[in-house]
Amino acid sequence: MAEPTPSPTPKIIKNDPWYGSYAARAETMRASEIRALFAVASRPEVVSLAGGMPYLDYMPFKEIAELIDKMMVEKGDIAWQYGLAQGDPHLREDVLQIMRLENITDVQPDDVVITNGSQNALDLITRIMCDPGDVVLAEAPNYVGALGVFQSFQVDVVNVLLDKDGLIPESFEEAVIEQRKLGKKVKFLYTVPNFHNPAGVTMSVERRPKILQIAQKYHVLIIEDNPYGLLGFDGQTYPALRSMDDENVVYLSSFSKIIAPGMRIAWMVAPPGIRQKLVLANEASVLCPPNMSQFTITTYLDNFDWRQQINQYRGMYRDRCNAMDAALREYLPYCTWNKPKGGFYIWLKIPQGLDSRAMLPRAVTAKVAYVAGTGFYMNGEGRDHMRLSFCYPTPERIHEGIRRLSTVIDNELETTQLFGTSGVPDADPRDAEHPGPQVQ
């Protein structure tokens, strides 16, 4: 899933004349105080291990520009016109070959819906499935953008546990049983099976059919969100859940990580009844995805060796992951983490007694930024973890960033050992209750 440049921290609006007039769902939307740090974290002297921006400098923009030029001359009048709510048919055909790389072979263009990024796909699926108070099961920790969507539709997010082999099937089954006992409607399980954000783990191949069996047994829909599946460092891919079940899975993928996010183009595959509602919801939400973006993507896919480009990305991200892993071993051997086999993130457990959230301002002062673990939970958990992104900085910058981080953690440990606490007041507990979708 995606990670934008965070917006600057909003100022506090005093005396808003519309205070009290907003929808209930708007009351839970609030900017996190972590945002304030992002403005600082984006300064060039800070090594940011916080963002999830893909590294695009190796893209052949000159050649791409020439092809867009040609496309615009040939069909500018269509590229600049309204399109279909379901998305451009050419692009819906093109994505089939991408999905084949993960064993999805039975999809037709009519099964595909193009969206304004996977964020909007999550918005649409939640919109058509969830009433306020309905339950969504989601891995904990979980992608912060998904939590933001669920929150904005006033959904109850119930945690399902992860380990190094991904989502734990028993935890999924228990959660369904427990929620049904409580009389709750479980609308779907949301999972990022491959190279999880932020946990870095991948659902083992053995677990996949088990999870599908539970979904079938209890008639629970699965939302399979797969932005990183083609970014396995050794070129490995895993069979998508959707490749084993065409009735109980809505599959989401995106061009944001495997090509580039600036077009905001992603896609969904859904069973017919759901897909039909998704198209109507897409139309109500945005009328149609941008033709300009869709035509740019099809032009790219049709003219470039995109498989080779994805391979290049894999190698680049592998090198950066190795650099981070080596630096962590060198500077922070007393922390724990699973080295991921793909994707963008390492999920670092920090020594007991430290608080990743409280520590963040001091890290930024030491010129390194990360995302505190609390951003990936709805309930204030996660102070013992942080997410470190290796996607954007160079290996040298990553090494330097981890070195800086180690000085901060060392200092915190020293303070904790001296005073039994890291010496700072706890963050505002209201923030912990609503970390919000802004903790990117």
SS3 349: strand
DSSP code of 232?
B
The minimum distance between CB 107 and a copy of itself, in angstroms, equals 17
Helix, strand, or coil (residue 45): coil
Contact 388, 346 (CB under 8 A): yes
* Smallest distance from a copy of itself to CB 23, Å: 5
Going by C-alpha positions, the residue among 374, 439, 373, 365 that lies closest to residue 404 is 365
Radius of gyration of the chain (CA): 22
Q: Identify which of residues 179 and 291 has a Cβ nearer to a copy of itself in the complex.
A: 291
Q: What distance in Å separates the CA atoms of residue 38 and residue 400, rounded to the nearest whole number?
A: 19
Least distance from a copy of itself to the Cβ atom of residue 330, Å: 31
* Minimum distance from residue 133 beta carbon to a copy of itself (Å): 11
Is the CB of 289 or the CB of 382 nearer to a copy of itself? Answer: 289
Residue whose CB is less far from a copy of itself, 15 or 417: 15
Toward a copy of itself, which CB reaches closer, 273 or 420? 273
Contacts for 122 with CB less than 8 Å, ≥ 6 apart: 1, 145, 146, 149, 190, 223, 225, 252
Q: Is the CB of 179 or the CB of 202 nearer to a copy of itself? A: 179
- Ordered strands of the 385-389 beta sheet: 345-349, 385-389, 371-372
Q: How far apart are the first and last CA of the chain?
A: 11
Length of the chain: 440
> What angle separates helix 117-129 from helix 272-286, to the nearest 10 degrees?
110
Q: Find out whether the peptide bond into 141 is cis, omega within 30 degrees of 0.
A: yes
Least Å distance, CB 327 to a copy of itself, is 25
Cβ closest to a copy of itself, residue 213 vs residue 365:
213
Residue 401 Cβ vs a copy of itself, minimum distance, rounded to whole Å:
20
- Choose between 302 and 330: whose C-beta lies nearer to a copy of itself: 302
Distance (Å, whole) CA 42 – CA 368: 10
The Cα 371–Cα 387 span in angstroms is 5
- For residue 47, the minimal CB distance to a copy of itself (Å) is 18
Residue 134 or 139: the one with the smaller Cβ distance to a copy of itself is 134
What gap in Å lies between CA 378 and CA 390, rounded to an integer?
24
Say which residues have a Cβ less than 8 Å from residue 302's Cβ, sequence separation at least 6. 94
Query: Around Cβ 322, how many Cβ atoms within 10 Å?
Result: 15
DSSP state of 263: T
- Closest separation in Å from C-beta 305 to a copy of itself: 18
- Residue among 7 and 311 whose Cβ is closer to a copy of itself: 7
Shortest Å, Cβ 222 to a copy of itself: 12
